[in-house]
Amino acid sequence: MRPVRLVVLCLLALVAIPQLRAQSDYAFGADVSFLKQAEDSGLIFKDNGVAKPGLEVLRDHGYNWIRLRVFVDPAKASTHLPNDLAYSIALAKRAKALGFKVEVGFHYSDTWSDRFHELTPSAWQGQTHQQLVTSVFNYTRDSIAAFAAAGAMPDMVQIGNEPTLGFLWPDGKLPENWDHYADLVRAGIKGMDAGRGTAPRPRVLIQLDLGGDWAASKAWWDKFMTYKIPFDVMAQSYYAHDYHSLMELRENLDNTARTYHKDIILIETSYTWKPGKAFPDHDGPFPETPEGQAAFLEELNRIVMAIPDGHGKGVFWWEPFWPRAGVDRGMVDADGDTLPVIRVYDKWTGGEASRTHKPLATPQLTDPNWRPQPAPPAAPK
């Protein structure tokens, strides 16, 4: 019976391997687009009192993805943000060297893009629709090629940032110009493919900012799907200070999975660790304390992990190392030391111990070349 049992165990192991691989692609992520600027300015971050670079802090607590935003020419904008192509590539290279996967979000603007601001880059203003399509293609192609040449090829690419109402206004504004918007998205995806050369194709992500609103999300996705644009991940932003509940978020994400059968990522979220402007009456769903912030991420992650059919693929915290004074949604306190929220994923990933220690292996079941070691000679009597 022993050989039969061994065959059965081997078959069970082979069945289990794809499931383990599927689970390993879950993104414990963070948008760290401000991190390089903060560290270059001299800020020092600490983990439990020990000075450590920000990316290493995240790595040691199980984070496996970072997110970076890219602006076309931020020097031309009044916001003077650092996130041009060279800055983003430098940060992506550091992340790749530490084993992170990288998601790159193209804003197609010189500054922030969201439902309130989708400003056409200064160099593209006044262009016709077809000229804009060409500009999006060329810019995306050249940017991806630059990432690839630097050895920092993105693993996922986002076309537009929160384009719930389109991007590159007024040409790609929604709901007025769906056809134009679709042309621009296609141009971005084709540019990505043209720029990657022989590198593996990044997954393509489309992001909305309708985390707790199923009705609006369904209306948007239904319309977008009519254009048959090839993409891989449906993403949402969710901020509790927008006053949608976690129950509404769960309804939206679960219904999205059941309706469209695509992978889903919560690509932006955060929560305050002390009272501030997010909840003027201090009426947030979790206490505005370090412990309340950690409890928020814990519940949010459970919702995403429970999305039907394994379509929940990750959560990204927005700017854990944001240095802006008075904005207390990061993962470090005023002294740059980590807050309890940084340890939420330790229970899922094993934290630093999983990086510094090897788990017990069973090569008898997983290595087809495994052979029993010969028995040591018997000790002389």
Q: For residues 128 and 131, what is the distance between their CA atoms, to the nearest angstrom? A: 5
Cβ-count burial of 172 within 10 angstroms (0-12 exposed, 13-18 middle, 19+ buried)? buried
Active site residue 176: no
Active site residue 268: yes
In degrees, to the nearest 5, what angle opens at C-alpha 370 toward C-alphas 365 and 373? 115
- Token pair 């990044």 in the structure block, residue: 202
Q: Report the chain's terminal Cα–Cα distance, integer Å.
A: 34
Among residues 54, 31, 50, the alpha carbon closest in space to that of 41 is found at 54
Q: 44 and 11 in contact (C-beta within 8 Å)?
A: no
**How remote is the C-alpha of 137 from its chain's centroid?**
23
In degrees, to the nearest 5, what angle opens at C-alpha 34 toward C-alphas 322 and 125? 125
For residue 281, what are its two tokens? 């009456």
- Phi, psi angle pair for 304, to nearest 5°: -70, -40
Q: Out of 39, 103, 118, 162, which one is annotated catalytic?
A: 162
Q: For residues 186 and 229, what is the distance between their CA atoms, to the nearest angstrom? A: 7
Q: Which DSSP category does 338 fall into?
A: B
Q: Out of 268, 288, 298, 299, which one is annotated catalytic?
A: 268
- Phi, psi angle pair for 306, to nearest 5°: -90, 5
For residue 237, what are its two tokens? 């932003």
**How remote is the C-alpha of 362 from its chain's centroid?**
33
The catalytic site residues sit at 162, 268
